[in-house]
Amino acid sequence: MDDKKYPNMNSVKIAAEAAERLGFSDKQRSDLLDELSMLPNGPVKHALSLFSEGGMPKKRVVLDVDDVMWPLNEHVAWLANVDFNDIVTFFAPDNYMLDDAAKKRLYEAYQTPWLHVHMDFYPDARLFATLAHDSRIEPWIASNNTSQTARNDKLCNLKDFFGPDLNRFSLHMPVVDMADTHEKIFPDDIFCLIDDSPKNAVKSGAQHVLMRKKPWNQSAWGQGVMKNILPRVRFYDDTAQCICMLQELLMKEDEWDVQKKELAAKNFGL
C-alpha cells in the first residue's frame, strides 16, 4: 500500500485485513480503502460498520433476455425452417447438425429486422421482477443487440412487460456487430449469472450460473465449452425453478455472511 495515498496506514492496514478476511474481491477492497483514505478518524470502525446487520455487499445477479425471458431461437428456427433441436451450437456457421444451406438460412434469420417487435415472454418470466425487490441483490440485465432497432424494440417490450420494476435493474444492452453478438461484456464480481449461453457462462466469471435448458447448452459442444466450470452450473426447466435455485444460493450465502460477521466480531471487536 502507498503510504502517501493512505496516511492513516496502521488503521487502514487493519481495515484491509478485515476486508480480506471477510471475502471482499480485489476491486471491492480497493474501493473500500479509497473511501477510508478520505476519512480523518476511525477508518477501522467505519470498515467494520459495513459488516453490521444489512451491511454486507449486495450480490450482483446478471440476467439475460433472449432464450431466458422469451424463446428467441424457437422463432428463429421457424423462420429458417430448421429443427429447433438441431441448434446445438451458439454460432450458426459452426453447427455440425446442419448442412450449408440450413446454416445460411439460420444465420440470416437472426438478422430479421422485426424479430424483437413482438416478444412472447415465457408465462412465468414476470417472476424475474422479484430480483428487483430483494434487498440482498444488485440486479442487472445484460443483452446484446445486432441493431439499434432491435435494441429499441427489446427495451420497449421489457418496459411493457416489467413496468416500473425495470427501473430497478442496471441495464447493459449494447449494439454490436453480428460477428460479436455472442461476445458479451460483463461487470465484475457476479454472484449469479442467469443465461443460456455456454460461452457467456465461462466468460462471466460468475460464482454461480443458472441456465435454462436449451439444445446448445445440453449438447456435446455446450458441455465441452463449460467443462471447466460445470460444477458451478445448474440447469432449470422454467423460471419458477430458476428463482427457487437462486433463493437456495442466496440462503447459503446468507449463512456464510453470518459467519463473516461473527469472524469480524471475534477478531476486530465489532
Identify which of 158, 153, 225 has the alpha carbon closest to the alpha carbon of residue 196: 225
- For range 117-133, the mean pLDDT: 93
Identify which of 224, 141, 223, 144 has the alpha carbon closest to the alpha carbon of residue 179: 144
- For range 231-260, the mean pLDDT: 86
Identify which of 195, 133, 214, 144 has the alpha carbon closest to the alpha carbon of residue 168: 133
- pLDDT value at 4 more than 60: no
Residue labelled with grid coordinates 422479484? 130
Q: Please state, in angstroms and rounded to a whole number, the distance separating the CA atoms of residues 100 and 150.
A: 26
Q: Please state, in angstroms and rounded to a whole number, the distance separating the CA atoms of residues 22 and 243.
A: 27
Identify which of 178, 73, 82, 70 has the alpha carbon closest to the alpha carbon of residue 119: 70
- Residue 233 β-bridge partners: 209
* Structure-model confidence comparison of residues 6 and 230, the more confident one: 230
- Summarize pLDDT for 207-242 with one digit per residue, the tens: 999 999 999 999 999 999 999 999 999 999 999 999
Backbone torsions φ then ψ of 225, nearest 5 degrees: -60, -35
Identify which of 134, 142, 128 has the alpha carbon closest to the alpha carbon of residue 250: 134
Q: Dihedral of the CA atoms 226, 237, 253, 162 (nearest 10)? A: 110
pLDDT at 31: 65
Q: Are 235 and 213 in contact (CB under 8 A)?
A: yes
- pLDDT value at 197 more than 80: yes
- Summarize pLDDT for 127-148 with one digit per residue, the tens: 999 999 998 899 999 999 988 9
Mutual angle of helices 9-21 and 26-36, in 10-degree steps: 150
- pLDDT value at 115 more than 60: yes
Q: Please state, in angstroms and rounded to a whole number, the distance separating the CA atoms of residues 270 and 265.
A: 4
* Structure-model confidence comparison of residues 3 and 56, the more confident one: 56
* Residue 190 banded pLDDT, cuts 50, 70, 90: very high
Share of the chain above pLDDT 90, in %: 61
Q: Please state, in angstroms and rounded to a whole number, the distance separating the CA atoms of residues 11 and 36.
A: 9
Mutual angle of helices 72-80 and 100-109, in 10-degree steps: 130
Lowest-pLDDT range, 44-48, 60-64, 125-129?
44-48
Residue labelled with grid coordinates 423460471? 239
- pLDDT value at 36 more than 50: yes
Q: Please state, in angstroms and rounded to a whole number, the distance separating the CA atoms of residues 80 and 76.
A: 6
- For range 54-66, the mean pLDDT: 84
* Residue 50 banded pLDDT, cuts 50, 70, 90: very low
Q: What is the mean pLDDT of the chain?
A: 83
- pLDDT value at 7 more than 80: no
Q: Are 142 and 64 in contact (CB under 8 A)?
A: yes
pLDDT at 34: 64
- Summarize pLDDT for 70-98 with one digit per residue, the tens: 999 999 999 999 999 999 998 898 999 99
- For range 151-155, the mean pLDDT: 96
